[in-house]
Structure 1
């Protein structure tokens, strides 16, 4: 028996009592965007998920092929009748048993899906103010670059942003450099240089980050760099924007007293939609 919210119930009535993702954050996940019954950037998501499982020493089942996950995700969105535009999350977690040391490295998975409004990426030009979140730091290590179910920095940072009337916060690493936003990778335009922190700084190895880097490198007159960004650099920027698979590109309009344009963000959203329609 267990005590769940003051009620004494049988342990087997609560599926979380042994779930390692719940107990220890022993899980990894991918967030996908589906448009017209097609998973965008499927190959990139699949290989990042497999790499994440290897990093945390999960056993990868033989049936975990890219085609298997594609079929399982699309089966769910079709059942929910949201295949025109949807957000799906695949969570893979180590099976029950053990304390810090698991009894097995075998895994289970859970797929969730909800509807989205737009089929194409659109640019939100409403006011979007950010500041630094410095209560906790991102560590410069391999675990920081993958999506695990331990996202306490992002959770507490989101609460901080909400309490302070901010749209988002920028995270810093243990050497006080700016790493990323709470919900996406950071890009900074200074003059003709488009800069994003390298993965070695502790930022997420983002799927949309990869797409934007590739698109920006095709633009004339723009030099694309993966370099360290300090808090002082933010004040010198012409544009700042965040990227993730669900939103696409989110321009930052204000950081402290500095306000920013969004011309390059507009162009990149256009190029992003064109690249999706061509594939």
Structure 2
């Protein structure tokens, strides 16, 4: 069951001329629904609008934050999964044209699946990562938004699976660390919490924004957005990844180095507290 342009129904074949399928001509947001509400709705909405503007899509007049919220919640309520769910809204230019579209008018599709946990929980199982160096992410604005062209993430995920890794770390085209395959990366060194700046080509992550704000309220922690080299990772005390669905995922091993997860535990606690207060 999906929501296609505001109509809830069963999945249908819309791929034959779909520009997101043919050319990667689409943008998307993945959201978490808890107890009938969308977490960080305003942040998701404004990032989605910014992404549409970057790729020169026409934004429908009715596509307000309230409309966006209503369409997602209609679907999860219809499916009976509003207590805890993952939803993805994909916006794509309408059919027609080759590389040059016939129109900048868009359609949207929402798909949702249930999630097991309501609150964020820290996964303490072994989580090993390594660098993915077959391809690099361009240091540009397009890399900071969520488009339907994620072939580096796909090939990187295959590489991780083939090598018994839980994830891989992506580099930009000047060989600096920017993020992981499924989330932003944070590094703890002493009393410093560091994450790459968006200008390096990393995704402008919604959970990244929440963690930066929460960490700045912790006494004794200096929060920095700075360039990270692969060599810096091996000097870190702690590494963790963030995204809206998982929350915080500690990295336990990178190459021969093993890491603690003390700050990650504290931040998960503060994250859940901040959500319950809203």
TM-score (ref. length: structure 1): 0.95
CA distance in 2, matches of 1:211, 1:268: 10
Q: Secondary structure at the match of 2:92?
A: strand
Query: How do 1:27-46 and structure 2 match up within 5 A?
Result: 27-46=26-45
Query: How do 1:30-69 and structure 2 match up within 5 A?
Result: 30-69=29-68
Is it true that 1:174 corresponds to 2:173 in the alignment?
A: yes
Query: How do 1:227-266 and structure 2 match up within 5 A?
Result: 227-266=226-265
CA displacement, residues 219-252 of structure 1 (integer Å, 9 cap, x when unaligned): 0000000000000000100000000000000000
CA distance in 1, matches of 2:101, 2:213: 40
- Displacement, 1:15? 2.7
CA distance in 2, matches of 1:14, 1:79: 21
TM-score (ref. length: structure 2): 0.95
- Displacement, 1:16? 1.5
CA distance in 1, matches of 2:139, 2:98: 26
CA distance in 2, matches of 1:105, 1:228: 36
- Displacement, 1:14? 5.0
Q: Secondary structure at the match of 2:186?
A: strand
- Displacement, 1:135? 0.2
Question: Equivalent residue for 2:15?
Answer: 16
CA displacement, residues 152-199 of structure 1 (integer Å, 9 cap, x when unaligned): 000000000000000000000000001100000000000000000000
Question: Equivalent residue for 2:225?
Answer: 226
CA distance in 2, matches of 1:53, 1:232: 36
Q: Secondary structure at the match of 1:233?
A: helix
CA distance in 1, matches of 2:101, 2:113: 32
Unaligned 5+ residue runs, structure 2? 1-11
CA distance in 2, matches of 1:53, 1:19: 17
Is it true that 1:184 corresponds to 2:183 in the alignment?
A: yes
How large is the RMSD of aligned CA atoms in angstroms?
0.7
Aligned residues: 267
Question: Equivalent residue for 1:147?
Answer: 146
Q: Which protein shows a greater Rg?
A: 1
Q: Secondary structure at the match of 1:54?
A: helix
CA distance in 1, matches of 2:114, 2:276: 20
Moved over 3 A (4+): none
CA distance in 2, matches of 1:198, 1:185: 10
